[in-house]
A = this chain, B = another copy of it.
């Protein structure tokens, strides 16, 4: 994303040009659209990083543009409202706008808001990329950040300990973890007390995510099956 693309949607040529010029001066790759259909068409082609969108448009209005564009791919939208109309703002935000400015607005502020939206997008993608908070093992998904787990698309309710246990296993799919190791990871450092505690929780886990997903290795410990047995005969 070396040169962020910005789409300016505004029917008044004077305002559109002036906004576009200002944003180009800031170093953005700016496209312009002057009505609803044109805006949607431009986005379908090649979605920009940010959209600056006026609400009052010929064709269909800003809300509709927002809906249609967002339906394809989520794009940050900075909304321009002619009046300080509470309802317009709230409606706009409800249909997917990310920020708003009321006319008359200062160019400085507009530029700042666009930059803020871009920062947010970048930050979000960085977070998604560098935070391996989600483990996928076959059709099992373990979201350690949200502490949720789905098996074959179905949400599974797990108790705290069950979740920690599964997260631990999912961090190394196919690898066998000893009871001692699991006790250390999930239960901190409990003097090697009843190792049967692990068994109990494995049992509970199996009952919830399917017994075949957790393999017992006799004399060693447990492992999460990397992929379901074979090509599932569905």
> Could you list which residues of chain A lie within 8 angstroms of chain B, going by C-beta atoms?
12, 14-15, 18, 21-22, 25, 67, 70-72, 74, 76, 86, 89-91, 93-100, 103-104, 106-109, 111-113, 115-117, 119-121, 124-125, 127-128, 130-134, 136, 139, 141, 143, 145-148, 150, 153, 155, 159-160, 174-176, 217-220, 223, 226, 234
Contact = CB atoms under 8 A, between A and B. Distances in A.
Given A109-B124, A112-B127, A131-B116, A21 B174 contact: no
Nearest to A95: B18
Given A14-B94, A97-B134, A155-B90, A146 B219 contact: no
Nearest to A107: B96
Contacts of A116: 128, 130-133
Contact of A150 (B94, B96, B104, B217): B94
Given A132-B116, A217-B147, A234-B71, A93 B124 contact: no
A107 B111 CA distance: 23
A217 B199 CA distance: 23
The 5 closest A-B pairs by CB, nearest first: A112-B128, A93-B104, A160-B219, A15-B94, A93-B141
Contacts of A98: 106, 132, 134, 136
Contact of A111 (B21, B74, B153, B218): B74
A231 to B, nearest CB: 13
Q: Which of A14, A103, A106 has the most CB atoms of chain B within a 10 A radius of its CB?
A: A106
A228 B159 CA distance: 22
A176 B153 contact: no
8 contacts: A18-B67, A22-B70, A71-B234, A94-B153, A108-B121, A109-B124, A113-B128, A120-B132
Contacts of A159: 218
Contact of A108 (B67, B89, B124, B219): B124
